[in-house]
Amino acid sequence: MRIQGVQKVTLLDFPGCVACTVFTLGCNFRCPFCHNASLVIPGEGKGEESEAFFSFLDTRRGKLDGVCISGGEPLLQPDIRSFIERIREKGFSVKLDTNGSSPDILAELMRDGLLDAIAMDIKNAPDRYAETCGLESPPIESIGRSVTLIMTGGIPYEFRTTVVDEFHREEDFRRIGEWIRGASAYYLQTFVESEGVIQKGLHPASREKMAACLTAVSKDVPTARLRGGL
């Protein structure tokens, strides 16, 4: 398991749980607005050994309820299943953050009861995924399969979109709403500029634009909400 780091406690990443977040190395997307460039493009770094993480978990029994596995893209890790199994054996719940590009692996983990919650990033409307995720040919069919799996799988979930002024329009959210119609939880979160972002010079959307995008998606996803201090 290639682990870049651990946030030792979070009250936000795993709703309803006091949790830690473990960040895995490597991603198959190159979203220009990603603020985790060191995780997405890890170079030759091998990351930390997972045994150190499990030793940390042993000291947090009775203090933490769960573990959020984020990235990067965790489902690229060849030993993700055994990693999750060990976490659960220690008595912790597991939430997975994913970009939805590996539906077969996701389906297996869901089928075998290894996930307690899922968060999936919706980068944009399907026809604008290429520019938003940084790939010429994004795996839209696989992403769509993941959307269906998550919405019908009976596991608590949320979809979320980081709204970047340069990449998102009100019309995009109308089409996102059609794509995930009836989703039980969907969040529009504001882009935050940082030193680690892949493409410099991007900007958060204005309050007015965020409100307009929320209105656009709410027709088909009435549960949609703004996140990020707006």
Number of domains the chain contains: 1
pLDDT given for residue 187 in this prediction: 98
Look up residue 25 and give its DSSP letter: S
Tens digit of each residue's pLDDT (9 = 90 or more) over 189-213: 999 888 878 898 999 999 999 999 9
Predicted local distance difference test score (pLDDT) of residue 42: 55
Mean pLDDT of 12-35: 93
CATH of the domain at 164: 3.20.20.70
pLDDT band at residue 44 under the 50/70/90 scheme: very low
Q: Percent of the chain at pLDDT above 90?
A: 81
Q: What single-letter DSSP state applies at residue 153?
A: S
Question: Residue 87 corresponds to which amino acid?
Answer: I
Give the SS3 label for residue 93: strand
Q: Which three-class secondary structure string do you get for 27-89?
A: CCCCCCCCCCHHHHCCCCCCCECHHHHHHHHHCCECCECEEEEECCCHHHCCCHHHHHHHHHH
Domain assignment of residue 175, given as a range: 3-227
| Helix orientation angle between 80-89 and 103-111, rounded to the nearest 10 degrees | 30
Q: Identify whether the C-beta of residue 52 lies closer than 8 Å to the C-beta of residue 213.
A: no
Q: Residue 39 and residue 103: Cα distance in Å, rounded?
A: 21
**Residue 107 CA from chain centroid, whole number:** 16
Nearest Cα neighbor of 109 from 77, 63, 72, 132 is 77
Based on its alpha-carbon atoms, the radius of gyration of the chain, rounded to whole angstroms, reads 17
User: What digits encode the pLDDT tens for the residues 52-99?
Assistant: 899 999 999 999 999 999 988 999 999 999 999 999 999 999 999 999
Closest CA to 185 of 9, 20, 15: 15
